[in-house]
Chains A and B, each alone.
Chain A
Amino acid sequence: MGHFNYWIVIYLMMAGFYIMIVQGNLVKKIVGLNIFQASIFIMFISMGKVEDGTAPILVEGTTYYSSPLPHVLILTAIVVGVATTALALALVVRINEAHRSVEEDEIHEQDKSF
């Protein structure tokens, strides 16, 4: 079970993908996208953990520190994810105003473009 974090990551990633593909509801697709992104965040953060390492603050008596860099990277990636989610939701609001629906197949019936 040394790599159990990767199993979690893979499970979440596939679950997110599955939701994105199978769900016809545009909002639920965004939920899928968020789960998918969360799996990547977990991958990065679990990667930074060093066994027996403490928080990366200089204290006497400790020699091993967890790597803080993946956390910083993911902080940025989370902000990007927030922006993506906000934009996607804004698009769904406007799609709903234009089509009076957030269901993929109903929109497809109105416009063949989707």
Chain B
Amino acid sequence: MISHHLPILQVIVPLLAAPLCLLLYDRFLSWCISLFASGIAFLIAALLLHQTLHTGVISYELGGWAAPWGIEYRVDIVNAFVLLIVTAISSTIIVFAKESVAQEIYAERIPLFYAVYMLFLCGLLGVTVTGDVFNLFVFMEISALSSYTLIAISEDRRALTASYQYLFLGTIGASFILISIGLLYSMTGTLNMQDLARRLPAVSGNRTVESAFAFLTVGISIKLALVPLHLWLPNAYTYAPSVVSAFIASTATKVAFYVLLRFMFSVLGVTLSFQSMLLSGIFLALGIAAIFVGSTAAIFQDNIKRMLAYSSIAQIGYMVLGVSFATVTGLTAALLHLFNHALIKAALFLALGCIFYRFGSASMNQIYGIGRRMPWTMTAFVIGGLSLIGVPLTVGFISKWYLVLAAMEAGMWLVAAAILAASLLTVVYIWRVVEAAWFKVPVQSPTANTGEVPLSMLLPTWALIIANRYFGIDTSLTVGVAPQAAEWLLGITG
């Protein structure tokens, strides 16, 4: 009986945890609740993926109202895949959060932090699981508002302005999405994704639908931080608490990317987005621009956190590039990179969180020579970095491999060459960190508190690093699911 209710429980469990954290208002208990809720959510996501792989699409009608009228939660392979990675990352990060948060956030705000963290998770899962476009907007705003709060909870005053900036751009992005939902509703009279997809072909070519498409593309691109609209991202990631940077960097943009896929493929359809609206060309250009702008900017950063933030912008470029091909291989690459980049960035940001824990800063000249003093942390960072570059036997290799493959399949040799060239830029900025950590002489004499970080922080970091290696070698889960999801999005299998 309970298996029937899994889609709603996926959202309800974190939503239930948030008021409980508030009610108990205790640092340790709220951590326990969050960890428990996140773990349960992970289990549910795993079960959902299992169900969708074996029995196909799961549809759940809220309040027992039938689909086009009521709100429908709809889980297929694509969102089950995204749910799994989001909940997995969230659970790992919560384990890490206990020590890290205790140091970076004022003690009286910690229960609130966990409550907001759970709301953020709830929002992300809601966006992923829902089959109703307006419901998607509401959940998107829940997650966005919580993420502004999570960034501003930092002790650094620059986090406030970063959060303010993010709030404005995020709200404009969400408002654009709302406008397009309104226009689509005015054309079709429905908000259900399935129903929209059924009714839109009848009104294709209509200017209202086209402007809805334009608003949607711009709105999601803001949320996604696609290149000309990425300006909120570096500050937000840099000044947020380490845990928050890790969580937002590895999940928020991924879920926004999922929204892009869902709208472009499942709702608007390939014919509209890629044939009449030329999305391929736009995304190809923006994707490549994102890769080079992000990677180049990352090279010149002195703050490692900011460097990783710019690297995230580049990685979003890779994913968008994969979409631009609109082929099974391209989409597979995009979905693989969604999964893999979440693992890579979470691992790197957590390793950075360990450094921050010890030094209270993440600037390049602070970490001179710390490779000797924090070998475990820095080794983790190096492996994560290798994965980011795309060295074989790491996850980064798998997704870049498929991306290059997709580019060659489409006959775009220059694009394939550009992907490889951009990997070299990645080598440069990762090498700067490696050089600083292992080959530079420490500036100040080693103080007493510069040993390795507590085990509860090292373990999650290493769990993600091992996942990076594991999914780089045994690709049966990711490469098994991603092509199926890609075919599903393109409507090849029924």
Contact = CB atoms under 8 A, between A and B. Distances in A.
Contacts of A26: 164
Contacts of A12: none
B164 A92 contact: yes
A44 interface: yes
Interface string B112-152: 00000000000000000000001001100100010011001
A73 interface: yes
Contacts of B149: 87
B164 A98 contact: no
A88 B145 contact: no
Nearest to A36: B175
Interface size, A (range):
20 to 34
B161 interface: yes
Interface string A32-71: 0100110010011001000000000000000000000110
Interface in B131-181: 134, 137-138, 141, 145, 148-149, 152, 157-158, 160-165, 167-168, 171-172, 175, 178-179
A70 B182 contact: yes
A33 B179 CA distance: 15
B158 A113 contact: yes
A95 B138 contact: no
A44 B182 contact: yes
A87 B178 contact: no
Given A47-B186, A76-B138, A40 B175 contact: yes
Contacts of A83: 141, 145
B168 A113 contact: no
B161 A40 contact: no
Interface size, B (range):
20 to 34
A47 B164 contact: no
B293 to A, nearest CB: 19
B182 A43 contact: yes
Given A94-B152, A99-B157, A114-B161, A40 B179 contact: yes
Contacts of A37: 171, 175
Contacts of A36: 172, 175
Contacts of A113: 158, 161-162, 235, 238-239
B160 A95 contact: yes
A31 interface: no
A107 interface: yes
B431 interface: no
B274 interface: no
B25 interface: no
A95 B161 contact: yes
Contacts of A76: 134, 138
A33 B186 CA distance: 24
A70 B184 CA distance: 12
Nearest to A84: B171
A73 B239 CA distance: 35
Nearest to A81: B171
B165 A114 contact: yes
Contacts of B235: 113
A44 B172 CA distance: 16
Nearest to A111: B158
Interface string B235-251: 10011000000000000
A76 B182 CA distance: 13
Interface of B: 134, 137-138, 141, 145, 148-149, 152, 157-158, 160-165, 167-168, 171-172, 175, 178-179, 182, 185-186, 235, 238-239
20 contacts: A20-B172, A29-B168, A33-B168, A37-B171, A43-B179, A44-B182, A47-B182, A69-B185, A70-B182, A76-B138, A84-B167, A84-B171, A87-B145, A87-B167, A91-B152, A91-B160, A95-B164, A99-B157, A113-B235, A114-B165
Given A20-B172, A84-B145, A98-B160, 10 more contacts: A33-B168, A43-B182, A47-B186, A73-B134, A87-B148, A87-B149, A94-B160, A99-B157, A111-B158, A113-B235
The 9 A-B residue pairs whose C-beta atoms are closest, nearest first, are A98-B157, A113-B158, A114-B161, A80-B141, A95-B160, A91-B164, A47-B186, A44-B182, A111-B158
